[in-house]
Amino acid sequence: MPELRRDPIIGRWVIISSERGKRPSDFATEPEETSSANCPFCVGNEEKTPPEIFTVDQPDVEGRVPNTPGWQVRVVPNKFPALRIEGEMERRGVGMFDMMNGIGAHEVIIETPDHAKRLHQLVPGEIEHVVTAYRQRIVDLTKDPRFRYILVFKNEGRAAGASLAHSHSQLIATPIIPKRVTEELEGSKIYYGWKERCVFCDIIKQELAKGERVICENEKFIALAPFAPRFPFETWLLPKDHRPFFERDNDLTQLASLLGEILKRLAVTLSCPPYNFLIHNSPVNCRGSDLLAYHWHIEIMPKLTKVAGFEWGTGFYINPTRPEDAAKYLREADIS
């Protein structure tokens, strides 16, 4: 059973997941690239994953049998989950420390049946199926009253933490609201309390007026380089209207279109870099008008620099690229 443990100094929780490789020699070598023949995410290999939870099937397929080909997007439980769905949380003290059981959900969203295709190479309609799967899983997992937060994220490329090459995203549901999210919620709330306006909405307005950090936009969404990015070419994608909840956003066609475009721009500009993206959304199963100050968004972080002692020690980040320059490179990328 994995455990959640809380640092007694700054309140940071960590997951102790000893099943995932605990001996020193486990860290010695990187696992080799999976060939498509053995890839558990490839079409035809459905038996290599736990049974599927959700699929978007291909339009020409009728009466598809679960865990067989015919899917376009397929969601399965992570075979090596960081958190487990079964059990009680049992929050408790150990001397001066605090801990609880590692209850949660950890799912994999297989974005395409094709081993060779990256997310940015899918057509907008296919990307829309992926974000639809995100939404459906969030809606479904919200029904579990133990969960307080559901993070959708993607690790693309080995340097960004992907252990399998086949294009996929992940989702982790946690029984507590994570620290990093709490910071954003608190910040949004304080700004709202002061201005009676959403801080993200204000950022979007100012960026649209100035233009220098805007990368691309459509009617409903905008992609921009944030004013104070942690990483070179860090990019945020936000709904232009004030929307606290990703899962209540009905403009998924427009979202898929802009997400595909910004990923293409990053791929062209930086030669298909490894990257992480994550959806910052409001917590689930929480009430309170506070939450209405939040504005969901996607943060995309190409993995170009190394996080080292200074960043770990301070929470400061050293970013070698001005966001205004990054935005210009990305705007000018030829994605035709």
Task: Give Cβ neighbours of residue 156 (< 8 Å, ≥ 6 apart).
Answer: 118, 119, 162, 167, 274, 275, 276, 277
* CB nearer to a copy of itself: pick between 78 and 142: 78
Number of residues that make up the chain: 336
24 neighbors 109 (Cβ within 8 angstroms) = no
| DSSP-derived pairing of the beta strands 97-101 and 214-217 | unpaired
Q: Which residues contact 290 (CB under 8 A, 6 or more apart)?
A: 185, 189
Q: Which is nearer to a copy of itself, 72 or 174 (CB)?
A: 174
When the beta carbons of 124 and 226 are compared against a copy of itself, the nearer one is 226
Report in angstroms how near the CB of residue 121 gets to a copy of itself at its nearest: 19
Instruction: Name which of 67 and 170 has its Cβ closer to a copy of itself.
Output: 170
CB of 254 to a copy of itself, least distance (A): 23
Q: Residue 112 Cβ, how far from a copy of itself at the closest point, in Å?
A: 18
Whether the CB-CB separation of 73 and 111 falls below 8 Å is answered with yes
3-state secondary structure of 153: strand
Q: Name which of 39 and 301 has its Cβ closer to a copy of itself.
A: 301
Judge residue 38's burial from the number of C-beta atoms within 10 Å of its C-beta, 0-12 exposed, 13-18 middle, 19 or more buried.
Answer: exposed
Task: Give the angle subtended at the CA of 255 by the CAs of 254 and 257, to the nearest 5°.
Answer: 65
Q: Is 168 a catalytic residue?
A: yes
Please give the Cα distance from 268 to 96 (Å, whole number).
52
Q: C-beta of 73: minimal distance to a copy of itself in Å?
A: 18
Q: Nearer Cβ to a copy of itself, position 254 or 281?
A: 281
DSSP string over 238-300:
EESS--S-GGG---HHHHHHHHHHHHHHHHHHHTS--EEEEEE---SS---GGGGG---EEEE
Q: DSSP code of 59?
A: T
Shortest distance, CB of residue 128 to a copy of itself, whole angstroms?
21
Burial (CB count within 10 angstroms: exposed 0-12, middle 13-18, buried 19+), residue 238: buried
Q: Which of 168, 280, 295, 297 is catalytic?
A: 168
As measured in angstroms, the least distance from the Cβ of 245 to a copy of itself is 17
- What are the residue numbers of the active site? 168
